[in-house]
Amino acid sequence: MNILFVCDPLSSFHIEKDSTFTMMREAQKRGHAVWACGTADVFWQSTGVVAAQMQAISLTGDPQDWFSVSAQETRALHSMSAVIMRLDPPFDSEYFYATHLLSQAEREGARVFNSPLALREHPEKLSLMEFPSFASPTLVTRSPQAIREFHLQHQDIILKPLDGMGGMGIYRVKADGLNLGSIIESLNRDGSTSVMVQKFLPQIAHGDKRVLVIDGEPVPFALARIPQGNEVRGNLAAGGKGVAQPLSARDLEIAHAIGPVLASRGLLLVGLDIIGDCLTEINVTSPTCFREITDQTGFDVPSMFMNAIERQLAVSA
């Protein structure tokens, strides 16, 4: 099979922790041809089909020079066996336009994972609002007054932008309300920008757990991303320490309730973020932590993912 990864520049990969790299390695191990391109390489010309300037790559096993390019070609996306969308957030206008090109490629016969329509319909911060029985108290608003009232009710809160990633732009405001006004000004921009506000969960001290769900089934281990020092954020990009651990009964309850619903909508891979017993985010663009869970537990997450891809392709063959 020919598998195309639509991803960030290969030169930017940190392969010691990159989940997309582990997917590529597993695909190559199984004898599939690995191709790569960026969203800027995808194009659609009138009277033509959606195509991309792409590279055929081989993984070398050398951590310093980890891939070699064996071919550079322009190919229609529907000519590939599978297209795996793995571009990192933020979900900006260019990402949005890319999903529309990928939707057209689907209409032409391409198999795209995750579904571009599902990517558009499930913004990562907002998707959890569909499952209120599992979520922490959460408000999404453009109203500064509504944010102040939420703080008055819950006393200790977290504020974050809807388009943030890796813990970027996250603030905690305690009962004293210190700096709440300036934080609202920074995130809300005089009511022009929506903000997500959540009740602070002290269980963050034990980690912000990433639970991976593949084709509706949870990976049996989560990666608890534990804040370090005085940091409130557990994100690995913000310096959190990743510790793999078996899923708790509550983790399984959440994953089994939400996973099949999202899988039925075309979300083959999702990353549920859980603090304590509460769902805080649903990640769909390029969920990570494959490498950390596999290295620490021996459970082969990339193999489970590639099994799901092959199973999906066999069903549609």
Asked if 75 is an active-site residue, the reply is no
CA distance readout (Å), 254 to 213, 224, 269, 284: 10, 16, 15, 16
User: What is the DSSP secondary structure assignment for residue 271, as one 8-state letter?
Assistant: E
Give the span between the Cα atoms of 312 and 1, in whole angstroms.
13
Asked if 283 is an active-site residue, the reply is yes
What's the first-to-final CA gap in the chain, in angstroms? 12
The catalytically annotated residue of 111, 125, 199, 209 is: 125
Asked if 233 is an active-site residue, the reply is yes
Dihedral pair phi/psi, residue 72, rounded to 5°: -130, 120
The catalytically annotated residue of 18, 225, 291, 292 is: 225
Give the span between the Cα atoms of 150 and 146, in whole angstroms.
6
Report the sign of the C-alpha dihedral through residues 13, 16, 22, 26, in that order.
positive
Give the span between the Cα atoms of 76 and 281, in whole angstroms.
34
Asked if 210 is an active-site residue, the reply is yes
The catalytically annotated residue of 114, 188, 235, 283 is: 283
The catalytically annotated residue of 25, 111, 199, 210 is: 210
Give the span between the Cα atoms of 160 and 30, in whole angstroms.
41
Q: Which two tokens stand for residue 106?
A: 């689907």
The catalytically annotated residue of 86, 199, 233, 291 is: 233
| Residues in Cβ contact with 54 at an 8 Å cutoff, skipping those fewer than 6 apart | 4, 35, 36, 37, 41, 72, 73, 74, 75
Asked if 225 is an active-site residue, the reply is yes
CA distance readout (Å), 316 to 31, 111, 235, 290, 294: 20, 9, 37, 26, 29
Map tokens 């994953």 to a residue: 255
Report the sign of the C-alpha dihedral through residues 203, 134, 285, 5, in that order.
positive
Catalytic residues: 125, 160, 210, 225, 233, 273, 281, 283
